[in-house]
Amino acid sequence: MCESGSRNRRVLDYIGNVPAQTALPLRQRLQPHVPDIVVALVIVAVTAIICLPGISRFTGVSLYDEMTHVDYAYKIAYEGRVPRAIEPLSDAVLAEWACRPTLWNPTDELCTLAESGQATPGEFPADGVNYNGFHPPLYYALTGLGARALIAMTSPVSDLSLVVAMRVMSVLWLSAGLLAFYGTMRMWLGRRSLSLAVTLALATTPAIASFGVQVNPDAAAILAGTAAVYLAHRIFRGRPSFRATAILTFLVASTKLLAVVGIFAVVTVALLRGLRKDDRQLTWIAPFGGAVLGTALSHLISELLTLLAGPPTQGNPIIGLSTEHLVGPFTRPLVDTLGINADLVSMYWLPSELDSTLWAMIARVTGLLLIAAVGILLVAHPGSDPRFNLALSTLAGALSVPILIQIRQLIANGQYFDGVAARYAITIVPLAFACAGIVLAQRRWGPAAAWVFSGLTAAIALGSTTGVLTL
């Protein structure tokens, strides 16, 4: 008993002599993160400097169904409801559209009618109908509510229009995706400087920057593609996770269902690896199951919300505008479809006042370099290497997107698209840039080359959106 008491006293004496742990000052705690904070500010600044002048100068409407996306976000933010799959555009959106100069609306006559509430949907393209109400609501809810808050905050000093506010939200979506991409590239490359250069090259590619000047759920595509790059790092480096895959896939699918294609490319490659003789077979298959679960749950919720919104008010006015009936063998459409996404970034749309010949040329060069990077990783590394599997996922995703779209169209309408826009595979672009970053990391001259190229593309992008190169 005495021995036990003596031992306790010694312990207490020791504890009493240990100096109390004090919390480090905030500056010391933040110091290791200062370089990455600076990098984050650079990424956001570059994105804003390129996109905001474009938003200011672009007074028209994007060809990518922009006003239907504006309408969806408006109805959530201002009317508190999810729209039907097909229904007329709201009066506020029609007024915005009527007052933006376009080829079909060169005068102010329709704008005057719309502002007085006398314009009818039939006076607008596609009968003034929102035919995109079938999309999941997450992107639109955040965009609409964010735009409404932005308008309220700036109202004392600026009369910000609905479309401009939502386009600013696109800049935020794009910035968030680029920040996430930089963080993921740090995981793959470890080098801060090279990761930043690759991120800036991605940001200044016209196929990517274009979604920072328009309202479209593809503004969230860089986040979706980065989720695929992150999962590729986890899975192919031996840390596959059912839960992480399910959560990320659910969030990605909730912005746009097709955005999950990058994740499915990664988990399918992992699945094929798991089906081989492997002691950890179930571990490799788990991410595929997580992706299926996340997608199914998101789609179920989206369909339920659309069902609760009510049946479509009319038929889809754009059916048959971009499609043809399949006559004869399917070989020609198949060949055309496979050739579409050979280059992911040179096929894009920008208004003439924001595009330039130099930007289009650098986009073609970028596309060729990305193809080369994927090919190098496939040839230079064995099938068990994470870098090989990343490149294989990129290739599989790029080839599968147009095929899946054509199959869906054939099943739904017995028709196929003359051409599937490369933007449908935009979530694959971060995977391709990740491949390029890995190739550059393996070369002594890689970081210098990455900075020269990203600096060139940034200068051309800025010159294009500010109008210097489009005069």
Report the 10 Å Cβ neighbour count for 74.
26
Residue-wise pLDDT for 206-254, tens only, equals: 999 999 999 999 999 999 999 999 999 999 998 888 999 999 999 999 9
Residue-wise pLDDT for 252-309, tens only, equals: 999 999 999 999 999 999 998 877 755 566 777 899 999 999 999 999 999 999 999 9
Q: Which of 153, 191, 125, 271 is nearest to 446 (CA)?
A: 191
Share of the chain above pLDDT 90, in %: 64
User: What is the Cα–Cα distance from 14 to 9, expressed in whole angstroms?
Assistant: 9
Residue-wise pLDDT for 358-411, tens only, equals: 999 999 999 999 999 999 999 999 988 999 999 999 999 988 887 777 777 666
CA angle 110, 111, 116 (to 5 degrees): 100
| Mean local confidence (pLDDT), 58-80 | 95
Confidence of residue 331 (pLDDT cuts 50, 70, 90): low
Q: Which of 90, 427, 390 is nearest to 255 (CA)?
A: 427
pLDDT value of residue 144? 97
User: What is the Cα–Cα distance from 374 to 173, expressed in whole angstroms?
Assistant: 27
For 9, phi then psi, to 5°, come to -65, -40
User: What is the Cα–Cα distance from 169 to 171, expressed in whole angstroms?
Assistant: 5
User: What is the Cα–Cα distance from 343 to 371, expressed in whole angstroms?
Assistant: 7
CA angle 339, 343, 344 (to 5 degrees): 115
User: What is the Cα–Cα distance from 389 to 273, expressed in whole angstroms?
Assistant: 9
User: What is the Cα–Cα distance from 111 to 105, expressed in whole angstroms?
Assistant: 9
Judge contact between 110 and 153, C-beta under 8 A. Answer: no
Two tokens at 214? 């328009």
**CA–CA distance from 288 to each of 229, 246, 293, 370 (Å)?**
15, 9, 9, 26
Share of the chain above pLDDT 70, in %: 85
Amino acid, res. 287: P
Burial class (CB in 10 A: 0-12, 13-18, 19+), 133: buried
Q: Which long-range contacts (CB under 8 A, 24 or more apart) does 42-45 make?
A: 42/196, 42/200, 43/175, 43/178, 43/179, 43/182, 43/196, 43/199, 43/200, 43/203, 44/175, 44/179
Residue 418 has pLDDT above 50, yes or no: yes
Report the 10 Å Cβ neighbour count for 24.
10
Residue 54 has pLDDT above 90, yes or no: yes
User: What is the Cα–Cα distance from 378 to 389, expressed in whole angstroms?
Assistant: 8
Residue 81 has pLDDT above 70, yes or no: yes
pLDDT value of residue 314? 85
Two tokens at 33? 């993160």
Mean pLDDT of the chain: 87
CA 141 to chain centre: 16
Judge contact between 346 and 360, C-beta under 8 A. Answer: yes
Two tokens at 23? 């919390």
CA angle 420, 421, 423 (to 5 degrees): 135
Residue 120 has pLDDT above 70, yes or no: yes
Confidence of residue 15 (pLDDT cuts 50, 70, 90): very low
Judge contact between 309 and 133, C-beta under 8 A. Answer: yes
User: What is the Cα–Cα distance from 171 to 267, expressed in whole angstroms?
Assistant: 29
Judge contact between 243 and 281, C-beta under 8 A. Answer: no
| Residue labelled with tokens 């006398």 | 118
